[in-house]
């Protein structure tokens, strides 16, 4: 076996590498296939839906704050009460804004209903004195 012949095969690979780097066929095929793909369109979200989502997010954040405050044994119920008031106000905003979009979006209606039940139960427990 001639070792020098094996080492000389390196020059055979160079034209193939040049041809691959100079070949624009893949790029052309890729771009043409990419242009054939239909663009995905998302359903438009109305301003009312955006408001409901934003206020719902605020309610969820306030409920998290409320849970953290309740777990803090240094806090009194009197100190926690402002959060409860804010939660009630924010939830009433969510419910009033949902009335406009209920016939159009069933998912938002179900979400707001679940959020409302959770919020009202938490507020009733607070007002009833379950945490005394």
What pLDDT shows up at residue 109? Answer: 86
Any domain includes 42 = no
Tell me the residue range of the domain where 21 lies.
8-36
pLDDT in 10s for each residue of the chain, 132 residues: 566 666 665 555 555 555 555 556 777 777 777 777 766 666 666 677 888 889 999 999 999 999 999 999 999 989 999 999 999 999 998 988 887 776 677 888 899 999 999 999 999 999 998 877
Closest to 64 measured CA to CA, from 119, 108, 107: 119
Any domain includes 41 = no
Dihedral angle sign, alpha carbons of residues 131, 81, 112, 42: negative
What pLDDT shows up at residue 21? Answer: 55
Any domain includes 1 = no
Q: What is the pTM of this model?
A: 0.62
Tell me how many domains the chain contains: 2
115 Cβ contact partners less than 8 Å away, ≥ 6 residues apart: 56, 59, 60, 91, 94
What pLDDT shows up at residue 63? Answer: 95
Residues 87, 30: one domain? no
What pLDDT shows up at residue 103? Answer: 67
Distance CA 6, CA 95 (A): 80
């Amino acid at each position: 076996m001639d070792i020098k012949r094996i080492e000389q095969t390196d020059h055979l690979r160079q034209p193939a590498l040049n041809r691959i780097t100079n070949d624009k066929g893949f790029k052309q095929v890729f771009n043409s296939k990419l242009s054939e793909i239909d663009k995905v369109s998302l359903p438009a979200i109305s301003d009312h839906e955006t408001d409901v989502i934003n206020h719902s997010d605020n309610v969820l954040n306030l409920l998290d704050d409320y849970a953290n405050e309740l777990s803090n044994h240094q806090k009194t119920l009197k100190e926690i009460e402002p959060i409860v008031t804010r939660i009630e106000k924010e939830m009433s905003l969510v419910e009033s804004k949902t009335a406009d979009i209920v016939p159009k979006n069933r998912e938002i209606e179900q979400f707001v209903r679940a959020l409302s039940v959770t919020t009202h139960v938490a507020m009733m427990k607070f007002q009833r004195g379950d945490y005394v």
